[in-house]
Amino acid sequence: MTNSTLPNTATAMTTPPPPSAAPGVMVGSQLNARIPDGDPETAWLRRRQEYRVVNPANRKKFTVAVVGTGLAGAGAAAALAELGFEVHAFCYQDSPRRAHSIAAQGGINAARARKVDNDSLYRFVVDTVKGGDFRGREAEAYRLGQESVRVIDHMNAIGAPFAREYGGALATRSFGGVQVSRTYYTRGQTGQQLQLSAYQQLMRQVQAGTVKLHPRTEMLDLIMEDGAARGVIVRDLVTGEIHAQVADAVILATGGYGTVYYLSTLAVGCNASAAWRAHRLGAYLGNPSMVQFHPTCLPVMTPWQSKTILMSESLRNDGRMWVPLKPGDERAPGDIPEAERDYYLERKYPAYGNLSPRDISSRAGKEQIDSGHGVGPMHNATYLDLADAIKRLGANTIWERYSNLLEMYRIAVGEDPMQVPIRIAPNTHYTMGGLWVDYNLMSSIPGLFVGGEANSSYHGANRLGANSLLSASVDGWFVLPYAVMDYLAGRLGQARPALDSTAVLSAFERAQARTEALLQVRGTRTPAEFHKQLGNYLWEGCGLNRSDKSLKTAIGQIRALRSEFWQDVLVTGKGLGVNQTLEKAGRVADFLELAELLCVDALDRDESCGAHFRIEHQAAGEAVRDDDHWMFASAWATTAPLDFATNPTLRFTRHAEPLHYTNIQPARRNYQ
Amino acid sequence: MKLTLQIWRQRDTKDPGHYETFEVDQLDVGMSLLEMLDRLNEQLVHEGKEAIAFDSDCRESICGTCGVNVNGRPHGPRPHVTSCMQRLRSFRDGETVRIEPLRSGAFPVRKDLVVDRSGLDRIIAAGGTVALPAGTAPDSDAVGVGHDQVERALDFAACIGCGACVSACPNGAAVLFTGAKVAHLSMLPIPAIEKVPRAEHMVAAMEDEFGPCSQYGECALVCPQNVPLTAIAFLQKERLKSLLHPRV
Amino acid sequence: MSAPPDAAPTQAARVKPEPPPAFQVSGRHAKRLPNWGLKLTMALTGTIGALFLAIHLFGNLKVYSGAEKFNAYAYWLRHVGEPLLPANSVVWVLRIVLALCIVAHVSGATILWLRARKARGRFAAKRSHRVRSWSATLMPLTGVFILAFVLFHLADLTLGIKPLAPETFQEHTATAAFAYQNLIASFSRPAAAISYVGAMVLIAIHVSHGLYTVVSDLGAVGKRLRAVLIAIAGLTAVFILLGNASIPVAVLLGVLS
């Protein structure tokens, strides 16, 4: 089933996927990602020519359910509705505008290559594929770059006020260690402006009646008929009632699962339930262990902290990272003389210093914290010190550059970053992994499409800065409309399941029973307590550094915690009406299953690559890939035994999608 | 740190609602207002009681989901800061703090501190949009836009739709919110093409649910994004222009 | 003990599930006078009122030129345009226009006030202690007092209805006006003088916030334009206050007699 017919394949795995180092894992088949054969640069064009279309008069006969209204979901819903399909859009927030795409700060990359800095589509693809440490698809990186041009034009036209040069042309900045300037931005709130623009276009279709919008509605389960996705079971978060929406195709654009770590830069409501429910019904989960940690987050300041706020990496352009040389040093930063400070990034990575890539900086910071050099009241941060830059450039210049960040720090921490060093710590930020999809963004369940951070495409083992807004926008506006229409064209004349069909009723009853079960345990620990505990296990066992030992420990802990959860969780209130404790419990229940697979994938992948750092596989702190054995994307299937109700153990099967690189040669990163 | 909290409890929209008093102790001044509610909720659930329902999501002041009135002030004591970013250091030890939902006639309470702000979405749906199907946009560099022009547009586009302006308004008006969107879109060349019908439809939708503006200026005092009060004049300007605009 | 019900869903009530309810868009709008139109009406009628006050002030200040000139001015007002126009015609046109403005202004204010109460809902918003907010809050109150003052003022110095008017009030004749004498007589009563000064304070508050609102209601968005117009609004209010209030004060102090 592999793409062995690919003619120009220069690099590919030399041996079949190895057996798993994780106990109990079965090795499955090799997957075909349905990438067009031949030159990856023209793949998308050729694929679009192959796609079928639906006659405009027939389009209103089809219903598409879109879950999630971020950049990918709102884009796909609006674009499909513009084409004339009937769309049902769901979001758990009170308004579709609030999806977490809104929090992205830095910008959006595009391979427009207008300047004479010698940027090009090729260079964009190289950066994306290399950034992903050769664990993403080359042909998709091309598609990302090619459609990026239309994304910028579309976003500009529908209201995103991109920064402009005084001459009127779009301004760009360089971002995330890329040597050219291809990041388009609106101050430090690019995600907000793109998200609001997409939201507005969605609302335009809502007004036109082509999109039926269901805010404050959470997906609980997937309706399956004859092995294909045919709708969703949802809970109205206001009335608490459970409803069914049948559809010809379902799009999940539900974002990443970073909140499985409890603390992350994600919104507190972000969850993996929709994706995990689909996974349990047969949608493979791709590379779940590929999680990006961001080096410059505000540290945890109280035991009650609910999330970590991201501080843009741009601060590292002028800030120096340091910790006291002496472990447990309680002195105020100003009282620690220069000779007793360790500028650890400058020391370890003299070439890149404070501008070392995200994963390296994050690991170096955690190393300092773990070895007792952490600063702040909870000894869980390192300093990012602007003092030298203030001395060199003057306080005004620094304030102008970073005023919004410094002001946010001032509000959040209550200290003046112009006077005392900023405290930062690495934290969970983005999940490259997600539901496995083929080149058409369809999961292993026919009719179930996945867009944006919820899928595992584009970014491989590590995402390049400013590529997340891009991939979500490309999926939503410029891939899913084509791919979903192609799929629907094949369904012309076929009926959707009736509301009283077995397909709908079984999913409906599953969701009801699960909700009932959560309410009936009536134990002693709150869902949040389980979530926090799970986060601790994951952060220690499957965080920045992973080892055989840490992962096996974490897997054991997670399994035990999951059993405890179903015996001891305490959910007050009722199933009807607003019940946020119940919502939380349902999400945590799914996290407790996902977390195990996350660790199993990390244990299984016996190499380091990108954000996945196995301490067994490193050369002087650098990830060492094993292209001979691991140049494939893992796509996991999870099965539960028949007696799962009394024996909540999960069985995992790892399928493999071999990766091929035609135009770009795999190489090792080096930042020393 | 210790606080006495008077928190609005309301079972559902029909329930008249009441204040319930809680004593919370051993608080850390670095905690956010919402983290304090998280902690109180954990305690309530342990006692077998229902948690206090409140909205929040990103908890970094950009999504606009959160918002409670604290001692009568939308979002909390620190001006221009969302509820999620309000820290307990703004309160005195031992203070009595009253927490209630974002009050307004157009924001019915769904439960406790959770309100329905969908009226704001209806205003956007009515015209805060651009009639341009995906893929049909011209090259963004083909029409230049001045540097200062987009920066000014962004001052208005920065609105997070939290509804604090409505709650702060003694008239329950949503003019700052609506004006911000109208101003933002009227400053960009392609969205500006539809500004005539936009103002008309958005104002009509706004007046269906929200009150008239008397220029108290309270809205701009609480706005977490510092949306300028000029938004109000923008709305009226665009509405008047559509009055003068010939119809075919 | 309960566990994740994956394999064995409980036989919960087997009802046919319903599709989820959907978001409702703004429907057919209520057929009524729009708020923005009422605001515009109030802005225009209010501006006319403020203009009238400003012109009235210039006339009033003639009192400092002496009885003869002031009475001549009063006489001229009634006979301007003669013989082309009959006597009192300009005065009556002004009276009718102003009366219509007052009716429109007060009705607009009443409708908007009622709508604002309704939109506000069950709980009143807490106001900040700023001048802008206070003057906005006081608009209906100052408006009602000003309306009452206008009626008193007409009774006192135009119609001469006693006891509001001074005992010595003299009706104008076909050839002469006694505005100066009437004014001195009225303001020589300390209570009247004080109520005139008080009314001017209310008028200044009302006019300053009113004209400030007009700037936005007429859609002035330019930074400089707004600054100029808002300054004019404030200055107009100050001049009306100082100019008019100076007269009763001058009478009480014996500067005018």
C244 within 8 A of C59, measured Cβ to Cβ: no
Buried b or exposed e, range C52-73, using 16+ CB within 10 angstroms: ebeeebeebebbeeebeebbbb
The CATH number that applies at residue C78 is 1.20.1300.10
Contacts of B210 in chain C (CB under 8 A): 119
- The 8-class DSSP code of residue A84 comes to T
Query: Alpha carbon C196 to chain centroid distance?
Result: 16
Asked if the structure places residue C8 within a domain, the reply is no
Select from A36, A105, A33, A93 the least CA-distant residue to A69.
A93
A592 within 8 A of A525, measured Cβ to Cβ: no
Residue B238: in which H helix or E strand, if any? helix B230-244
CATH code for the part of the protein at B117-244: 1.10.1060.10
CATH code for the part of the protein at A294-428: 3.90.700.10
Check if CATH label 3.90.1170.30 holds for domain B3-111.
no
Contacts of C137 in chain B (CB under 8 A): 170, 216
pTM exceeds 0.90 for this model: yes
Looking up tokens 């206008």 gives C150
Select from B248, B246, B247, B238 the least CA-distant residue to B196.
B238
B-interface mutation test, from C32, C33, C35, most B Cβ less than 10 A away: C35
Looking up tokens 């077998």 gives B48
Cβ of residue A529 closer than 8 Å to a chain B Cβ: yes
**Do B117-244 and B3-111 fall under one CATH topology?**
no
List pLDDT tens digits, range B84-118: 999 999 999 999 999 999 999 999 999 999 999 99
Measured CA to CA in angstroms, residue B190 lies from A65, A149, A165, A184, A233 at distances of 30, 17, 18, 18, 39
Q: Quick check: A506 and C9 CB within 8 A?
A: yes
Cβ of residue B116 closer than 8 Å to a chain C Cβ: no
CB neighbour list of residue B193: distance below 8 Å, 6 or more residues apart: none
Task: Measure in Å the smallest separation between the Cα of B37 and chain C Cα atoms.
Answer: 23
Select from A212, A204, A215 the least CA-distant residue to A63.
A212
C-alpha to C-alpha distance for A606 and A20, rounded to whole angstroms? 8
Instruction: Please give the backbone phi and psi of residue B100, each rounded to the nearest 5 degrees, phi first.
Output: -140, 170
C-alpha to C-alpha distance for A174 and A178, rounded to whole angstroms? 6
List pLDDT tens digits, range C56-67: 999 999 999 999
Report DSSP letters for A314-345, one per residue: GGGGT-EEEEESSTT--S-GGGS-GGGEE-HH
Task: Measure in Å the smallest separation between the Cα of C236 and chain B Cα atoms.
Answer: 19
Query: Alpha carbon A152 to chain centroid distance?
Result: 21
Q: Quick check: A577 and B36 CB within 8 A?
A: no
Cβ of residue C19 closer than 8 Å to a chain A Cβ: yes
Query: Alpha carbon A494 to chain centroid distance?
Result: 34
Contacts of C21 in chain A (CB under 8 A): 214, 236, 243
A6 within 8 A of A658, measured Cβ to Cβ: no
List pLDDT tens digits, range A144-154: 999 999 999 99
Phi-psi region of C82 (alpha: psi -120 to 50; beta: other; left: phi over 0): beta
- With CA atoms as reference, the chain B residue closest to C35 would be B212
Residue-level pLDDT at A532: 98
Residue-level pLDDT at C5: 53
pLDDT at C9 over 50: no
Opening angle at CA B169, ends B163 and B170, nearest 5: 145
Q: In chain A, which residues have pLDDT < 50?
A: 1-10
Look at chain C and report how many structural domains it folds into.
1
Count of C-beta atoms within a 10 Å radius of residue B96: 12
List the subunits that have 3+ CB pairs under 8 angstroms with B.
Answer: A, C
Residue A652: in which H helix or E strand, if any? strand A651-658
Collect all residues from C whose CB is shorter than 8 A from any CB in B: 23-27, 29-30, 34-36, 38-40, 112, 115-116, 118-128, 130, 132-133, 136-137, 139, 209, 212-213, 215-221, 226
Burial of B30 (0-12, 13-18, 19+ CB in 10 A): middle
C-alpha to C-alpha distance for B165 and C139, rounded to whole angstroms? 20
Select from B169, B160, B157, B159 the least CA-distant residue to B221.
B169
Helix (H, G, I), strand (E, B) or coil at A551: helix
Tell me the longest C-alpha to C-alpha distance in chain A: 77
Asked if the structure places residue C75 within a domain, the reply is yes
C-interface mutation test, from A512, A564, A594, A646, most C Cβ less than 10 A away: A512
Looking up tokens 């209805």 gives C161
Q: Quick check: B59 and A268 CB within 8 A?
A: yes
**Domains of chain B, residue spans:** 3-111, 117-244
Q: Quick check: B207 and C132 CB within 8 A?
A: no
A165 within 8 A of A171, measured Cβ to Cβ: yes
Q: Quick check: B64 and A98 CB within 8 A?
A: yes
Residue-level pLDDT at C15: 67
Taking only Cα atoms into account, the Rg of chain C, rounded to an integer number of angstroms, comes to 28
Complex ipTM: 0.98
Domain residue limits at C99: 35-118+134-252
C-interface mutation test, from B177, B202, B215, most C Cβ less than 10 A away: B215
Helix (H, G, I), strand (E, B) or coil at A132: coil
B103 within 8 A of B167, measured Cβ to Cβ: yes
**Domains of chain A, residue spans:** 294-428
Q: Quick check: B241 and C30 CB within 8 A?
A: no
Cβ of residue B180 closer than 8 Å to a chain A Cβ: no
C-alpha to C-alpha distance for A62 and A54, rounded to whole angstroms? 10
Residue A337, both tokens: 């003389």
Among B51, B63, B185, the residue with its CB nearest the CB of A159 is: B185
pLDDT per residue, tens digit, chain B (248 aa), is 999 999 999 999 999 999 999 999 999 999 999 999 999 999 999 999 999 999 999 999 999 999 999 999 999 999 999 999 999 999 999 999 999 999 999 999 999 999 999 999 999 999 999 999 999 999 999 999 999 999 999 999 999 999 999 999 999 999 999 999 999 999 999 999 999 999 999 999 999 999 999 999 999 999 999 999 999 999 999 999 988 877 66
Looking up tokens 């001395």 gives A391
pLDDT at C26 over 50: yes
pLDDT at C10 over 50: no
Count of C-beta atoms within a 10 Å radius of residue A326: 13
Neighbour order of strands in the sheet with A63-67: A211-214, A86-90, A63-67, A249-252, A448-450
B67 within 8 A of B223, measured Cβ to Cβ: no
Residue-level pLDDT at A5: 38
Cβ of residue A236 closer than 8 Å to a chain C Cβ: yes
Query: Alpha carbon C230 to chain centroid distance?
Result: 16
C-alpha to C-alpha distance for A65 and C75, rounded to whole angstroms? 81
- The 8-class DSSP code of residue A478 comes to I
Asked if the structure places residue C29 within a domain, the reply is no
Residue A230: in which H helix or E strand, if any? strand A228-236
Task: Measure in Å the smallest separation between the Cα of C121 and chain A Cα atoms.
Answer: 21
Residue-level pLDDT at A266: 97
C-alpha to C-alpha distance for A475 and A455, rounded to whole angstroms? 10
Please give the average per-residue pLDDT across C200-207, as a whole number. Answer: 97
Helix (H, G, I), strand (E, B) or coil at C19: coil
CB neighbour list of residue B91: distance below 8 Å, 6 or more residues apart: B1, B3, B77, B97
List pLDDT tens digits, range A50-95: 999 999 999 999 999 999 999 999 999 999 999 999 999 999 999 9
Cβ of residue B196 closer than 8 Å to a chain C Cβ: no
Strands A632-639 and A651-658: antiparallel
C-alpha to C-alpha distance for A105 and A404, rounded to whole angstroms? 11
